[in-house]
Amino acid sequence: MNANEIPALIKLLDDPDPEIFKHIEDKLLSYGEEIVSYLESEWEKSFNPILQERLINLIHKIQFQNIKIDLELWFNSGSFDLLRGILIVNRYQYPDLNEQKVINQIEEIKREVWMQMMYESSPSEKVKLINHVFYTIYGFSGNTTNHKDPQNSYISQVLESKRGNQISLAIIYSIVAQKLDIPIYGVNLPQHFILAYIDEENQTQYDNDVLFYINVFNRGYIFGRRDIDLFLKQLKIQPDRSFYEPCSNVDIIKRVLRNLISSYEELGSEEKVKEIRQLLEVLA
């Protein structure tokens, strides 16, 4: 990177000629994240409203470009780490987030569950214990008053407010469980996202033997397959195998992105809708 060229290019960002501006912007974009600190510094010093707006837009474009690259890398490398995937999505709204803080918050919840799980217990007892820690000690609950709020989909905000939608609460719950080797995974049910406790001892190569399901939005309520049958019947939706079995981490992140699209459509944020659709296309 040419350290002398960057300041000179930044000063030309307010050029009134659209073609010159586009050329300069493309040149600065090619430098990537390395120049964000230069752009932020210039924004703080500038009193030119046009330049300030263009600097903010350029910073966002660079950060969004990096999110797309990281999401694609996560996807192409097998998408094994759900927490990593949701942290990449979180950066869309909170690019300067201290990700280690989120990781530490998850670890803290896991440690609290582990400390109370010092004896051998049945699957239902394990879930009751997680429920006690998750809902009673930490106070997590579904955001029923403002369910469409996009903040419900950002894990950093859910961990701070202890309020979220079905999928964000389920993501935190399942990550904690899996860190403790408890086989709880997400299930992509229409109009609702639930968790399944898998009987790994009796699991075959072609089938997932679900012991029971968990409704994280309803304080970890445990229910069975028949309840899903009734739910689908009420929605007049034909049962499908995918509605009963664990889905992939990619499916989970796709659903988070679709929730965000729906939330921002509700708010009339067309630019955000357009950008999140691009993130969704990365996982296509």
- Nearest CA to 147 out of 131, 175, 167 is that of 167
Name the average pLDDT for the chain.
91
CB 63 within 8 A of CB 91: yes
pLDDT digits (tens, 9 = 90+) for 178-197: 999 999 999 999 999 999 99
Could you tell me which residue, 42 or 198, shows the higher pLDDT? 198
Is pLDDT of 154 > 60?
yes
Whether 219 and 98 share a structural domain: yes
What is the bridge-based pairing of β-strands 141-142 and 163-164? Answer: parallel
Whether 190 and 62 share a structural domain: no
Whether 55 and 145 share a structural domain: no
Whether 37 and 56 share a structural domain: yes
- Give me the pLDDT at residue 205, please: 45
Across residues 201-226, what is the average pLDDT? Answer: 83
pTM beyond cutoff 0.85 = yes
Is pLDDT of 249 > 60?
yes
Whether 70 and 88 share a structural domain: no
Whether 18 and 108 share a structural domain: no
- Give me the pLDDT at residue 71, please: 98
Tally the domains of the chain: 2
Whether 36 and 71 share a structural domain: yes
Segment (H or E) for 194: strand 194-198
Segment (H or E) for 141: strand 141-142
pLDDT digits (tens, 9 = 90+) for 251-264: 999 999 999 999 99
For every residue of 142-175, DSSP letters joined together read E--SSTT-GGGG-HHHHHHHSEE-HHHHHHHHHH
Whether 127 and 232 share a structural domain: yes
Considering 51, 76, 101, which residue would you say is the last residue of a domain? 76
Whether 123 and 70 share a structural domain: no
Whether 111 and 68 share a structural domain: no
Considering 53, 76, 99, which residue would you say is the last residue of a domain? 76
Whether 204 and 266 share a structural domain: yes
Return the percentage of the chain with pLDDT > 90, whole number.
70
pLDDT digits (tens, 9 = 90+) for 230-241: 999 999 999 999
Range of the domain at 33: 5-76
Most confident range, picked from 22-26, 30-34, 67-71: 67-71
Considering 24, 43, 76, which residue would you say is the last residue of a domain? 76
Whether 143 and 220 share a structural domain: yes
CB 159 within 8 A of CB 102: yes
- Nearest CA to 82 out of 167, 143, 165, 149 is that of 167
